[in-house]
Structure 1
Amino acid sequence: MAGHAPALETAALPAGAAARLAFGFDRILGGVLEAAAAALVLAEIAILGTGIVARYVFHAPIVWSDELASILFLWLSMLGAVVALRRGEHMRMTGLVTRVGPRARALLEALALTASLAFVLLVLHHALEYAEEEAFIVTPALEIANSWRAAALPVGLALMIPVGLVRLMRLGQPMAVAWAAMLTAAAVAAFWVLGPTLKPLGQVNLVIFFVGIVAVNVFAGVPIAFSFALATFGYLACTTSTPLLVVVGRLDEGMSHLILLAVPLFVFLGALIEMTGMARAMIGFLASMLGHVRGGLSYVLIGGMYLVSGISGSKIADMAAIAPVLFPEMKKRGAEPGDLVALLSATGAQTETIPPSIVLITIGSVTGISIAALFTGGMLPAVVLGLCLCAVVWWRYRGEDLSGVERYSWQQILRLGLIALPAIALPFIIRAAVVEGVATATEVSTIGIGYSVLMGLLVYRQFDWRRIGPMLADTASLTGAIIFIIGCATAMAWGLTQSGFSQSLARAMGAIPGGAWGFLAVSIVAFIILGSVLEGIPAIVLFGPLVFPLAKAAGVHEVHYAMVVIFAMGIGLFAPPFGVGYYGACATSKVNPDEGLRHIWGYMAALLVGLVIVAAIPWFSIGFL
């Protein structure tokens, strides 16, 4: 009886006291989770960096380094996903949520959490079972039970429960939470009861679950990862006899590609170049050369995004490095904030193929295309789209008054160029390290991190040690959000494949008239739509394994097709009203989204022209392979 007394006392506490206890527990748990996730990011950097040194300098490869990195990566991804859930940073579509009244919005916010928790509760038992099954497998290098790695799945899912419950409490809308919980429970129960009725429907269930359920969840603001997961779990549970352990297995498979370890490392590198002043040095140099030209700073924005995208791999990091440096001066010259955010958004789409783009790495991971070939093929197509954007800038700023603009002397430009040289060299160092075989695409970011730390300490003298911890925690959160989407999308793609959908898609795509050109045209339209709804990474994981073999069969080079697909998705991602990348650009720039709507369509038209040119002339993508 004594063991139950504390629970009774807690239950008797007033609601305010109970909430304070819950929030206090959440702060402690959040601090521990962020510290652990940050430590894992640091450990991955150390392990991969040590592996490069051991192999390339001492010619003594560490045989267990990749295996340990893989084990820690799954833990990093799951703990990062928990941190992202606690912070509300899982990728979601909020176009509908932000346009409804306060009551409806509170209900949708609560539904986003209760739906996510529903999936966690449904799958947690199977995750525990999966981890137990993995205990019989011994890893080849470390010779430990694979359950040490697989345990990250049930542990991460279990931690999502208290985190999600506290977030529901923080909404401060008990009625909305109660209604959301009832609606979620009713929906789960309804599909469970309707299972025998759904099974005979065959491929109609694909529309019900993978179109209907996904669309309802996504538009209601449920995080994209959980929307995919709920649809997949529901489809397999209600319409097939597949063991639900498979859902966890596919989730594990999607989150365990070692190449994806590049994601957290490049995200951290992007934050590092902003903190060390390397981005500011590059922008300052470009501005000195072009600042006196009509629309010059807009050209600098385009060029700056090209250079920074070659370093960070994260669009939000790219924008955060560029916007605070350029926008104040551009506003002084009379540029409208709406035009600035429209161009920033357009450059986000333009630079999607610049290595080491996370989308390129994801395509290589799920399709087996050479990462080095994708890195090589991505440089020139981005230049083509950049020139199209420059044409719009020239037209819009052809009458700009430059009478009060300072023109830099060649001596000043040379001095700023020398200052920026170490920063400008970084993308080329990263590229050379991959081509020369010094490091793999996964490891090369550690070279960039080490280089940036040295430049920040010795050259630019900007290195705030106090920011490292928060940067590592932010990296873990973004990593968890990205990798959890990939895992859930992989499970969904497996469900679609097993249903026979891939064969149906192959027949439909094969019937498109016009051969390779018809296939490319349909792909452009399809991926613009997909990019606006799903974002690049989940769309690639979901449809990449299905459409890339079809492209090859239609006679389209896989690297060329990758560039076309990435640009199409980028246009969808950064085009309002649905593209979440556009709202990310607005948030980074601190500009109201409505201000950019009038200006952005000219830039989007330029991107479409550039995409058609890249699609029509494969040489831009494969000429240097």
Structure 2
Amino acid sequence: MLTVLFLTFFVLLIVNMPIAFALGIAAATTLLVDDTLPINSIVTRAFVGVDSFTLLAIPFFIIAGELMNACGITERIVAFARSLVGHIRGGLAHVSIVSSMFFSGISGSATADASALGSMMIPAMKKNGFDADYAVAVNASSSAMGPIIPPSIMMVIYGSIANVSIAQLFLGGFVPGLMVALGLMGMAYYIARRRNYPAPSRSELPPVIPAFRGAAWALFMPVIILGGIFSGVFTATEAGVVAVAYAALVGTFVYKTLTFKLVGELLVDAAVTTAAAMFLIAMATSFAWLLAWAGFGAAVLDVLGGISTNPTIALLLILIFILILGLFIEGIPILIIFTPVLLPVILGLGIDPVFFGVILVMAVVIGSVTPPVGILTYICCAIAGITISQAFRGLVPFCAVLIAILLLCAVFPVFIMSVPTLLGH
């Protein structure tokens, strides 16, 4: 069964079949060939996969991100980031990274960060004398903070599948997200010095206080969302509704940029994005169910047990496996397929599922940066007008930083679990 399932799936990927259809067709083909289970099992499992109250947070966070972006918050956040770090060597690179960190607290999506900020920062960096490969590498790698810094759509998906506290997952992402930002800024500074990139003086940059006032309404949004979740006022799903209401009020009465026509267009875009995401989740759930039914999880546990019984070594092996998969498969399918398969494995190893969830999201999102499939790199390359091969030289050091921080967090769980433990979640 497993042979047919994987063989069909990878053949379909090779012929460039969209991954959602590849997952569904592979599952259906396996059931037809094996003839052990009824073919309608796929429909049942697909429905079960999306029949979750927790997953309602996804369309609401998507809509909230669309509304806030339409309000012009990207420009305001970038202006505030410029006032803070624009004077450092390689100024616009640091502005891009800090802007991504702030934007991550609003969108919860890496692709949203790459599209919104990349379309603004990459042309600006090229215009100011930065090489295109450097601009792509900085923006693609910094967009990876989107699913790590809360709120995070990927963490919502993992929490729904693993049945663990989304509040704990969000809290666990704070320190790793900050580590990624600092690590990327360090690498950006090092390369900027080697390539002799300039930085404007403080007198050429906007003052901090006025820039903060312009971005304050946008920056306050994650405070409301996370404060409400962590205080127990509302759940992560209800937080999505609050985020939409807040974005609509700010856009209408504060920034005064939202119109009925624009809101209608944004709702259509959000509906299309949500439908695509839910279809992908449904198909990936069917695929994951077949993996579990065929005993793939037990086989993984046996292999890991044969190599080492040390939980840290086993976790590192799992992460290497996920990173390799990320070279060829998009992030959300990996998360949905392997969470139910790996969860019994990590529980058997005595690994905390919240800690594992944050680590898994970090590993999956790195795959969104690394070629040949890395969607974030494709988005940024399209904006910069260069190919993946042309961007490769610039990507390597930044991907190395992301992987180093992932391994550091895997070996020292305190980086992830300190905030949830400190705040009693």
Cα deviation, 1:58-111, whole Å, max 9, x if unaligned, reads: xxxxxxxxxxxxxxxxxxxxxxxxxxxxxxxxxxxxxxxxxxxxxxxxxxxxxx
Query: Equivalent of 1:363, from 120, 135, 158?
Result: 158
Cα deviation, 1:470-502, whole Å, max 9, x if unaligned, reads: 221221222121111111111112222222333
1:281-360 paired onto structure 2 within 5 Å: 281-360=76-155
The alpha-carbon distance between structure 1 residues 224 and 539, as it changes in their structure 2 partners (threshold 3 A), is same
Q: Take 1:581 and 1:329, find their aligned partners in 2: how far apart are those partners?
A: 18
Residue 175 of structure 1 corresponds to which residue in structure 2? Answer: none
The alpha-carbon distance between structure 1 residues 483 and 275, as it changes in their structure 2 partners (threshold 3 A), is same
Cα deviation, 1:253-292, whole Å, max 9, x if unaligned, reads: 0121121111111112111111101222111011022212
Residue 615 of structure 1 corresponds to which residue in structure 2? Answer: 410
The alpha-carbon distance between structure 1 residues 333 and 322, as it changes in their structure 2 partners (threshold 3 A), is same
Question: 2:83, 2:205 within 8 Å by CA — same for their partners in 1?
Answer: no
The alpha-carbon distance between structure 1 residues 613 and 351, as it changes in their structure 2 partners (threshold 3 A), is farther
Question: 2:104, 2:145 within 8 Å by CA — same for their partners in 1?
Answer: no
Query: Equivalent of 1:224, from 6, 19, 23?
Result: 19
Query: Counterpart of 1:212 in 2: which secondary structure?
Result: helix
Residue 256 of structure 1 corresponds to which residue in structure 2? Answer: 51
Question: 1:516, 1:555 within 8 Å by CA — same for their partners in 2?
Answer: yes
Question: 1:273, 1:452 within 8 Å by CA — same for their partners in 2?
Answer: yes
Query: Counterpart of 2:185 in 1: which secondary structure?
Result: helix
Query: Equivalent of 2:225, from 421, 430, 433?
Result: 430
Query: Equivalent of 1:551, from 314, 330, 346?
Result: 346
1:368-387 paired onto structure 2 within 5 Å: 368-387=163-182
Give the AA of the match of 2:2.
L
Q: Which runs of 4+ in 1 moved over 6 A?
A: none
Q: Take 2:314 and 2:155, find their aligned partners in 1: how far apart are those partners?
A: 21
Residue 197 of structure 1 corresponds to which residue in structure 2? Answer: none
Q: Take 2:386 and 2:96, find their aligned partners in 1: how far apart are those partners?
A: 16
Cα deviation, 1:378-407, whole Å, max 9, x if unaligned, reads: 11111112222112111111264647x352
Cα deviation, 1:177-235, whole Å, max 9, x if unaligned, reads: xxxxxxxxxxxxxxxxxxxxxxxxxxxx311x222100000121111111111111111
Q: Take 2:102 and 2:128, find their aligned partners in 1: how far apart are those partners?
A: 24
Q: Take 2:293 and 2:34, find their aligned partners in 1: how far apart are those partners?
A: 12
Residue 462 of structure 1 corresponds to which residue in structure 2? Answer: 257
State whether structure 2 residue 274 is matched by structure 1 residue 479.
Answer: yes
Question: 1:272, 1:452 within 8 Å by CA — same for their partners in 2?
Answer: yes
Q: Take 2:172 and 2:21, find their aligned partners in 1: how far apart are those partners?
A: 33
Query: Counterpart of 2:269 in 1: which secondary structure?
Result: helix
Question: 2:82, 2:205 within 8 Å by CA — same for their partners in 1?
Answer: no
The alpha-carbon distance between structure 1 residues 543 and 487, as it changes in their structure 2 partners (threshold 3 A), is same
Question: 2:80, 2:211 within 8 Å by CA — same for their partners in 1?
Answer: yes
Query: Equivalent of 2:63, from 259, 268, 285?
Result: 268
Q: Take 1:555 and 1:540, find their aligned partners in 2: how far apart are those partners?
A: 20
Q: CA RMSD in A?
A: 2.0
State whether structure 2 residue 12 is matched by structure 1 residue 206.
Answer: no
Residue 448 of structure 1 corresponds to which residue in structure 2? Answer: 243
Give the AA of the match of 2:133.
G
Residue 59 of structure 1 corresponds to which residue in structure 2? Answer: none
The alpha-carbon distance between structure 1 residues 464 and 340, as it changes in their structure 2 partners (threshold 3 A), is farther
Q: Take 1:466 and 1:417, find their aligned partners in 2: how far apart are those partners?
A: 30
1:56-67 paired onto structure 2 within 5 Å: none
Residue 509 of structure 1 corresponds to which residue in structure 2? Answer: 304
Q: Take 1:414 and 1:607, find their aligned partners in 2: how far apart are those partners?
A: 32
Residue 603 of structure 1 corresponds to which residue in structure 2? Answer: 398
Aligned residues: 419
Q: Which moved more, 1:410-419 or 1:532-541?
A: 410-419
Higher relative contact order (CA 8 A, sep 6+): 2
Give the AA of the match of 1:310.
G
Query: Counterpart of 2:327 in 1: which secondary structure?
Result: helix
Residue 74 of structure 2 corresponds to which residue in structure 1? Answer: 279
Question: 1:575, 1:604 within 8 Å by CA — same for their partners in 2?
Answer: yes
Q: Take 2:90 and 2:168, find their aligned partners in 1: how far apart are those partners?
A: 34
Cα deviation, 1:5-38, whole Å, max 9, x if unaligned, reads: xxxxxxxxxxxxxxxxxxxxxxxxxxxxxxxxxx
Q: Take 1:311 and 1:497, find their aligned partners in 2: how far apart are those partners?
A: 35
Give the AA of the match of 1:559.
V
Unmatched runs of 5 consecutive residues or more in structure 2: 421-425
Q: Take 1:409 and 1:213, find their aligned partners in 2: how far apart are those partners?
A: 57
Deviation at 1:612, TM superposition (A): 1.6
Cα deviation, 1:32-57, whole Å, max 9, x if unaligned, reads: xxxxxxxxxxxxxxxxxxxxxxxxxx
State whether structure 2 residue 333 is matched by structure 1 residue 499.
Answer: no
Question: 1:378, 1:563 within 8 Å by CA — same for their partners in 2?
Answer: yes
Higher CA-based Rg: 1
Q: Take 2:39 and 2:401, find their aligned partners in 1: how far apart are those partners?
A: 47
Question: 2:136, 2:381 within 8 Å by CA — same for their partners in 1?
Answer: yes
Question: 2:107, 2:146 within 8 Å by CA — same for their partners in 1?
Answer: no
The alpha-carbon distance between structure 1 residues 540 and 408, as it changes in their structure 2 partners (threshold 3 A), is same
Deviation at 1:362, TM superposition (A): 0.7
The alpha-carbon distance between structure 1 residues 499 and 410, as it changes in their structure 2 partners (threshold 3 A), is closer
1:510-529 paired onto structure 2 within 5 Å: 510-513=305-308, 515-529=310-324
1:529-568 paired onto structure 2 within 5 Å: 529-568=324-363
1:405-420 paired onto structure 2 within 5 Å: 405-408=200-203, 412-420=207-215
Question: 2:359, 2:406 within 8 Å by CA — same for their partners in 1?
Answer: yes
Query: Counterpart of 1:339 in 2: which secondary structure?
Result: helix
Deviation at 1:533, TM superposition (A): 2.4
Give the AA of the match of 1:373.
Q
1:18-57 paired onto structure 2 within 5 Å: none
The alpha-carbon distance between structure 1 residues 241 and 326, as it changes in their structure 2 partners (threshold 3 A), is closer
State whether structure 2 residue 187 is matched by structure 1 residue 388.
Answer: no
Q: Take 1:592 and 1:533, find their aligned partners in 2: how far apart are those partners?
A: 17
Q: Give percent identity, aligned residues only.
A: 31
Deviation at 1:464, TM superposition (A): 4.1
Question: 1:338, 1:599 within 8 Å by CA — same for their partners in 2?
Answer: yes
Q: TM-score, length-normalised on structure 2?
A: 0.93
Residue 423 of structure 2 corresponds to which residue in structure 1? Answer: none
Question: 1:283, 1:325 within 8 Å by CA — same for their partners in 2?
Answer: no
Question: 1:307, 1:427 within 8 Å by CA — same for their partners in 2?
Answer: no
Deviation at 1:536, TM superposition (A): 1.9
Q: TM-score, length-normalised on structure 1?
A: 0.64
The alpha-carbon distance between structure 1 residues 578 and 321, as it changes in their structure 2 partners (threshold 3 A), is closer
Query: Counterpart of 2:193 in 1: which secondary structure?
Result: coil
Q: Take 1:362 and 1:502, find their aligned partners in 2: how far apart are those partners?
A: 20
Deviation at 1:461, TM superposition (A): 2.8
Deviation at 1:542, TM superposition (A): 1.0
Unmatched runs of 5 consecutive residues or more in structure 1: 1-204
Give the AA of the match of 2:311.
A
Q: Take 2:240 and 2:277, find their aligned partners in 1: how far apart are those partners?
A: 18
